Structure 1
């Protein structure tokens, strides 16, 4: 398998030589087109992993490679979505989605001359996530779940090879969260984008991922790697099956042990 993401024996410390060691000896590989989930105790370095892969932080030791290139600066082939959609309140939903195109160099120079093409792409993404006709609305006119749907569109508009999701559904109610699991499941199937999901929700990880990485308490490292055995496409009904719940309980037990060992 060709690895799109490769983290090799990485140490990352905040605050200088005497600061907090967030991850140590971190190793992880994610294949092209794969959906990977990262779980672990609070403070285990999951968000640090996100920053390392996207080039927002550089490690003190080891190497991070994305698409075969050593990460030494912010990575342009990555789309990101976080728990808080942070949409700009003075821009319409459509203009919020188009925002990355004003920043990513590959698209920035084309945007003015090809605006219609990009607007059509944004409207297509809105339709995919169930927001057809909402492009002219402002963020304050959308519910939290609708804003997060728009946030996913914004993360995908520049056609990233890698999508990094940091607790993107954590602030939503259970029903909206499950709806968005199905949205991201379908986006992954349709676009073949590689996805790394950081989450505390073990059901979410098991429903969405091909592989789940369990991290230790700080300083974070990968304790165990699970291959999720359930065939795709997965329906929400799989969550009521014994095998699914057994896997969730196994993950829960591993994280509980990691917390005690801290």
Structure 2
């Protein structure tokens, strides 16, 4: 068994002391004093209680939201607008119903500037790449099928291919497997495990599923209740590639339970300095 290498010394993303408040009414911040790094090539999972700012974190990393305070750096550059090095997959695959599977996968190439310029003259090359991705996730032969002809799991696999077709340096996964049944979810864990191993893409996974986080990630960040900040960090001790049998390992389940305990603690209110509010700790 081997451990997937990643460049520990080089952060692809740095978030430094960030505050973000939605709207202009001076309401409670979604995140406050948020600091974290994403290392190039790693698989990072972010977990925490509902409303802790996990989705806000993804918007900050991609430039969809600009903080009122603090700095977000991607590849050492300040993020001031949406960035193009990102591929994203969500819980809902959002495939366009009037496009075939391969046409859906090719969609980012029509949007991302550097690929849009090449698409017409290099279409055959891009089609070959799309078919290779489909084969990688077990969807060989469905290129000409429409979304309504695919199962939920097949649609999510196609969504992953679409997120990867333009060779992003950062793959953002926002609860991508949450709506699937347990067996399909585990099949897709293996698919994304193999995609990460084959491509070396940096992955950030937001999930409520602690088993998913431990199975897939190199490192796991636990966020506090709102306003969100990183309350703890865990490095997963399991070598790659990880088989599904790991889910029944005692050490694996100990790590999952540790995370569960951390999230229960993270749900407790904190004061302005990030310390637990003694009035609520019993």
TM-score normalised by the chain length of structure 1: 0.99
| Residue 157, structure 1, aligned to residue 165, structure 2 | yes
Q: Which moved more, 1:36-45 or 1:15-24?
A: 15-24
Number of paired residues? 262
Secondary structure, counterpart of 1:260 in structure 2:
coil
Mapping of residues 65-104 of structure 1, within 5 Å: 65-104=73-112
Report what 1:250 is aligned to.
258
Q: CA deviation at 1:260?
A: 3.2
Mapping of residues 69-148 of structure 1, within 5 Å: 69-148=77-156
Secondary structure, counterpart of 1:219 in structure 2:
coil
Query: Which of structures 1 and 2 has the bigger CA Rg?
Result: 2
Deviations for 1:153-208, whole angstroms, at most 9, x for unmatched residues?
Answer: 00000000000000000000000000000000000000000000000000000000
Deviations for 1:101-160, whole angstroms, at most 9, x for unmatched residues?
Answer: 000001001101111110110000000000001010000000000000000000000000
Secondary structure, counterpart of 1:89 in structure 2:
coil
Report what 2:6 is aligned to.
none
Runs of 4+ residues over 2 Å off in structure 1: none
Mapping of residues 192-203 of structure 1, within 5 Å: 192-203=200-211
Cα separation, 1, equivalents of 2:197 and 2:76: 23
State the superposition RMSD in angstroms. 0.8
Report what 1:2 is aligned to.
10
Secondary structure, counterpart of 2:179 in structure 1:
coil
Secondary structure, counterpart of 1:79 in structure 2:
strand
Report what 2:178 is aligned to.
170
Q: CA deviation at 1:87?
A: 0.5
Secondary structure, counterpart of 1:95 in structure 2:
helix
Secondary structure, counterpart of 2:45 in structure 1:
strand
1:33 to 17, 20, 41: 41
TM-score normalised by the chain length of structure 2: 0.92
Q: CA deviation at 1:22?
A: 0.3
**Can you give the 5+ residue segments of structure 1 that lack an aligned partner in the other structure?**
none
Deviations for 1:31-88, whole angstroms, at most 9, x for unmatched residues?
Answer: 1000000000000000000000011111110011111111111110000000001000
Q: CA deviation at 1:17?
A: 4.5
Cα separation, 2, equivalents of 1:34 and 1:259: 27
